[in-house]
Amino acid sequence: MAYKQYLLTALGDSSGTAMANFTYDGQGRLTKFFSGTTSSYDYYYSGNNLTARTYTSGGSLQTIDSFFYDVSNRISLVRDYDASHTIQDTTVFTYNGDNTLNTVVVGNSISPNSNQLYEFVYENNNIVKRKTYYQQSSGDYRKSSVVEILGYDKSHNPLWDFYQKYFSDQFSFFIFVWAGPNNFTSVKETDYDPTTGDISSVYSATASYSINGNGLPTKMTVSQGGTNQIYTYQYQHI
């Protein structure tokens, strides 16, 4: 597949100006992710497994994340520390028999009764159909939001690879890039009041793409509430 010969190097705005830049080592592993002008993530490995990720902003270290794996070499746990090495969060992953993600629990070490739970439902080809987010309150998990992916295109989503390898513990990262190996075209999010269970808001978005000859998007246009947001992609051949 031609798209496997390319690495994502930049994500830009409508003019092509980079909002994020990615650099890799000789083995094609991400070593640095620049977000904006003063923030960056650095990545460290043991073999092909990501073992640590640091986040720096304004020249100061902010967080250190350590990654752990199960016997099937799947990420099973991520511990998040602040710059003084005090643990902040512990994220625990469970999987289905086909290796798709089943649940994720984010445990807050500072406020133990404010954990977060994510549940995933899949459809054909193991792509995410629905993600449900719960917030813990008084010991119980209460539904906070449901994201439904209503459609995908047939081209490859390069941000899926990026997300799976380097940000699997970040569920608010960018716009629905965690959803699947193809690019989402339609999505609906329903938000709930965790206290009453009533719907507090509903919104939807659609996306269209320009695809190059290698099956990769070069532009994404996201439409929501009558407003369009354009993102551009840049790649390097490996």
pLDDT tens-digit readout, 34-92: 987 789 999 999 999 999 999 999 999 999 999 999 999 999 999 999 999 999 999 99
Q: What is the pTM of this model?
A: 0.89
Q: Is residue 154 within 8 Å of residue 148, measured between CB atoms?
A: no
Among 61, 116, 59, which Cα is nearest to 89's? 116
Provide the token pair at 124.
């054909």
Domain count, the chain: 1
The yes-or-no verdict on residue 230 having pLDDT over 90 is yes
Mean of the per-residue pLDDT values for the chain?
A: 90
- Phi/psi of residue 59, nearest 5 degrees: 85, 0
Provide the token pair at 48.
């092909």
pLDDT class of 18 with cuts at 50, 70, 90: confident
Each as own residue / partner, the long-range contacts of residues 72-76 (CB below 8 Å, 24 or more positions apart, any chain) are 72/99, 73/49, 74/99, 75/168, 75/169
Q: Which domain holds residue 93?
A: 2-237
Give me the CATH number covering residue 92: 2.40.128.720
First to last CA, the chain: 13
Report residue 182 CA to chain centroid gap.
14
Q: Rounded to an integer, what distance in angstroms lies between the CA atom of residue 214 and that of residue 3?
A: 5
Residue 1 Cα distances to 100, 121, 127, 206, angstroms: 22, 27, 19, 27
pLDDT class of 171 with cuts at 50, 70, 90: confident
